[in-house]
């Protein structure tokens, strides 16, 4: 048991979130380089959707291929086992990212020094903030001209609603970027622009007043740094690890991922402050990672890229206990025992079959259609993890069968793609017509393409004027008010895949009117309430 605790304590599972182009891929790659997990730059492929590079379909397939490879990147650094969970930056795949965030224990937020806080950053950080996920901020591209450090810290506090404290501080920027003062370790790291530069070049300066600092960076820069650090000390709270772990304080680092500068500082601080696997709430109780019985949940399903083998890979985050190969586990939703002969563990450049995995780890399980996103596995306890809601989609279309001979294939394809979480299916109460709702417009192309290539089915779409889908909860299903609502709004009512009632509002205005008219009915924007 001692070694179980040791394995648990040395795990850090986190995600990197950013607006596309801020430098997430570059930073990931540098982190892996430190772990010795990859040998050269360029080894981590960007899973960005590059518009216009090739046809969109090819691009989607390319992206899917890469996203299997980079879904989970595991590596070791200073005897710490680090798992990076990949989060797609493209906004059309935001739902994937939200789901992945249910499996991380902390995050690193990457911000471009010139662009500051961008739209995707705001959305993703909000999700993390609501869940009190500990966050470290990395301000990237200091080798370029950008915003002043104070201005940026201010912007982060205002726009992201965070309380920050810098743990490193830039000396100049862009053309004049001289390096960083590491507040956390009390030393100076000088910028030479040479990415191969390593740790030994860090110069210890425990006393900022020492003339050594002037010799290193020049009088002017040294004085400016002293002044700014003093100011920062007055404005920002002192770093407090517990506050960080509670999600109430976010330390900030500055650097340049491309130049591998400031990344080592970030990583060293990360392994010493970032949380070990955290307890997780289930519908029944809170489960602690150190419990000896295994529990875990599916947060992502990836279809096999080879259409001849329609098996899928279900990604399971281990919450408690150890997961063992060939041991029967309870699939709670199906009330069925399942054994896994070849669970995969993920490393930077490969996946491998593993015998035992620990809390914080992700295992990839081959699946022939048993799993849905959000499913729980246990050693026998009827436990249901929650917190993977469906979000109210923003794009809606009728889906029609374009090949009557293939209706079975179409139904199966739609069913499986929905289980994977590609989109949501709604069935109109009035006439049984099927509607696909998605968070991004790109998903319609993905669905059409994959139905054809993986299931041999063809579909067409028809436009539908829906502004938002909201999940309905009635205080009293027998009340006159609810009956009236169901009768008058029958045209706009549908069921989701789980059979939950959904109201499809055709405009913001009609949604508001309906809410006002039926005060005892709750309209939810996510499927979990």
20 forms part of the interface with ligand G4P (CB under 6 A): yes
Nearest to ligand G4P of 35, 277 (CB atom): 35
24 forms part of the interface with ligand G4P (CB under 6 A): yes
Eight-class DSSP state of 453? H
Question: Could you tell me the smallest distance in angstroms from the CB atom of residue 327 to ligand G4P?
Answer: 38
Nearest to ligand G4P of 18, 182 (CB atom): 18
Contact 266, 180 (CB under 8 A): no
Strand partners, 287: 280
257 forms part of the interface with ligand G4P (CB under 6 A): yes
Contact 266, 108 (CB under 8 A): yes
Contact 118, 140 (CB under 8 A): no
Nearest to ligand G4P of 63, 409 (CB atom): 63
CA neighbor of 365 nearest in space, from 413, 421, 297, 308 = 297
Question: Would you say 23 is a known binding-site residue?
Answer: yes
Question: Would you say 18 is a known binding-site residue?
Answer: yes
Which H or E element spans position 408? helix 407-420
Question: Could you tell me the smallest distance in angstroms from the CB atom of residue 256 to ligand G4P?
Answer: 3
Question: Would you say 88 is a known binding-site residue?
Answer: yes
- Pairwise CA distance, residues 307 & 177, whole Å: 51
89 forms part of the interface with ligand G4P (CB under 6 A): yes
Question: Would you say 170 is a known binding-site residue?
Answer: no
Tally of CB atoms within 10 A around 283? 11
- Pairwise CA distance, residues 330 & 360, whole Å: 20
Piece of 20-28, 115-123, 168-176, 343-351 that binds ligand G4P (CB under 6 A)? 20-28
- Pairwise CA distance, residues 75 & 79, whole Å: 10
Question: Could you tell me the smallest distance in angstroms from the CB atom of residue 244 to ligand G4P?
Answer: 23
Which phi and psi angles does 311 have, rounded to 5°? -85, 160
Question: Would you say 1 is a known binding-site residue?
Answer: no
Q: Which of 26, 100, 102, 106 binds ligand G4P (CB under 6 A)?
A: 26
Rounded to 10°, the helix 407-420/442-455 angle is 130
Question: Would you say 143 is a known binding-site residue?
Answer: yes
Place of tokens 């289930």: 282
Which phi and psi angles does 357 have, rounded to 5°? -130, 155
Which phi and psi angles does 434 have, rounded to 5°? -95, 135
Question: Could you tell me the smallest distance in angstroms from the CB atom of residue 113 to ligand G4P?
Answer: 9
Question: Would you say 20 is a known binding-site residue?
Answer: yes
250 forms part of the interface with ligand G4P (CB under 6 A): no
Question: Could you tell me the smallest distance in angstroms from the CB atom of residue 242 to ligand G4P?
Answer: 30
Q: Residues 6 or more apart from 201 whose CB is under 8 A from it?
A: 189, 190, 192
Question: Would you say 87 is a known binding-site residue?
Answer: yes
Nearest to ligand G4P of 258, 451 (CB atom): 258
46 forms part of the interface with ligand G4P (CB under 6 A): yes
Q: Assign 300 to helix, strand or coil.
A: strand
103 forms part of the interface with ligand G4P (CB under 6 A): no
22 forms part of the interface with ligand G4P (CB under 6 A): yes
User: How many residues touch ligand G4P (CB under 6 A)?
Assistant: 19
Piece of 161-169, 250-258, 319-327, 388-396 that binds ligand G4P (CB under 6 A)? 250-258
For 504, 509, 511, 519, 525, the CA distances from 482, given in Å and listed in that order, are 16, 20, 16, 10, 19
Kind of pairing, strands 187-190 and 203-204?
antiparallel
147 forms part of the interface with ligand G4P (CB under 6 A): no
Which phi and psi angles does 135 have, rounded to 5°? -130, 140
Piece of 7-15, 24-32, 153-161, 446-454 that binds ligand G4P (CB under 6 A)? 24-32
Task: Kindly write out the interface string for residues 107-146 of this chain, putting x where it contacts ligand G4P by CB under 6 A and - elsewhere.
Answer: ---------------------------------xx-xx--
Nearest to ligand G4P of 173, 414 (CB atom): 173
Contact 111, 140 (CB under 8 A): yes
Question: Would you say 90 is a known binding-site residue?
Answer: yes
18 forms part of the interface with ligand G4P (CB under 6 A): yes
Q: How many CA atoms lie within 13 A of 130 on its CB side?
A: 9
- Binding residues for ligand G4P, per CB under 6 A? 18, 20-26, 46, 48, 89, 140-141, 143-144, 256-259
Residue positions in the annotated binding site?
18-25, 86-90, 140-143
Residue ranges for the known binding site for GTP are: 18-25, 86-90, 140-143
């Amino acid at each position: 048991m001692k070694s179980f605790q040791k394995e648990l304590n040395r795990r850090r599972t986190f995600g990197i979130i950013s607006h596309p182009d801020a430098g997430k891929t570059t930073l990931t790659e540098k982190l892996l380089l430190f772990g010795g997990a990859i040998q050269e730059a360029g080894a981590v492929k960007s899973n960005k959707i590059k518009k216009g590079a090739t046809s969109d379909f090819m691009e989607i397939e390319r992206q899917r291929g890469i996203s299997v490879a980079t879904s989970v990147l595991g590596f070791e650094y200073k005897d710490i086992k680090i798992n990076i969970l990949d989060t797609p930056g493209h906004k059309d795949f935001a739902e994937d990212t939200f789901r992945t965030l249910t499996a991380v224990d902390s995050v690193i937020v990457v911000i471009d020094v010139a662009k500051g806080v961008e739209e995707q950053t705001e959305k993703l950080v909000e999700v993390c903030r609501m869940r009190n996920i500990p966050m470290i901020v990395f301000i990237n591209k200091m080798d370029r001209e950008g915003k002043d450090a104070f201005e940026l810290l201010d912007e982060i506090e205002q726009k992201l609603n965070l309380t920050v404290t810098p743990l490193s501080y830039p000396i100049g920027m862009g053309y004049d970027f001289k390096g960083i003062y590491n507040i956390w370790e009390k030393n100076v790291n000088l910028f030479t622009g040479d990415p191969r530069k390593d740790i030994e070049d860090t110069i210890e300066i425990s006393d900022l007043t020492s003339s050594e600092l002037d010799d290193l960076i020049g009088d002017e820069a040294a004085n400016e740094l002293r002044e700014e650090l003093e100011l920062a000390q007055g404005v920002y709270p002192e770093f407090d690890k517990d506050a960080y772990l509670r999600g109430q304080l976010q330390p900030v680092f500055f650097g340049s991922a491309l130049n591998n500068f400031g990344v080592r500082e970030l990583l060293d601080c990360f392994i010493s402050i970032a949380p070990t696997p955290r307890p997780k709430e289930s519908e029944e109780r809170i489960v602690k990672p150190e419990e000896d019985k295994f529990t875990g949940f599916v947060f992502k399903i990836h279809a096999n890229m080879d259409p001849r083998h329609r098996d899928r890979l279900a990604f399971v985050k281990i919450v408690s206990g150890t997961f063992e190969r060939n041991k029967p586990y309870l699939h709670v939703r199906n009330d069925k025992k399942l054994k896994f002969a070849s669970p995969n563990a993920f490393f930077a450049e490969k996946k491998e079959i593993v015998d035992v995995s620990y809390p914080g780890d992700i295992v990839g399980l081959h699946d022939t259609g048993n799993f849905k996103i959000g499913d729980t596995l246990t050693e026998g306890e009827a436990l249901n993890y929650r917190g993977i809601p469906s979000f109210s989609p923003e794009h809606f279309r009728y889906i029609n069968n374009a090949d009557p001979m293939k209706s079975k294939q179409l139904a199966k394809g739609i069913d499986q793609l929905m289980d994977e979480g590609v989109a949501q299916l709604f069935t109109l109460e009035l006439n049984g017509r099927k509607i696909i709702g998605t968070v991004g417009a790109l998903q319609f192309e993905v669905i059409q393409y994959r139905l054809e290539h993986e299931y041999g089915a063809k579909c067409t779409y028809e436009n539908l004027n829906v502004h938002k889908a909201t999940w309905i909860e009635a205080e009293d299903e027998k009340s006159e008010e609810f009956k009236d609502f169901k009768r008058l709004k029958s045209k706009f009512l549908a069921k989701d895949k789980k059979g939950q009632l959904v109201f499809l509002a055709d405009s913001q205005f009609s949604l508001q009117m309906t809410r006002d008219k039926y005060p005892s009915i709750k309209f939810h924007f996510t499927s979990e309430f």
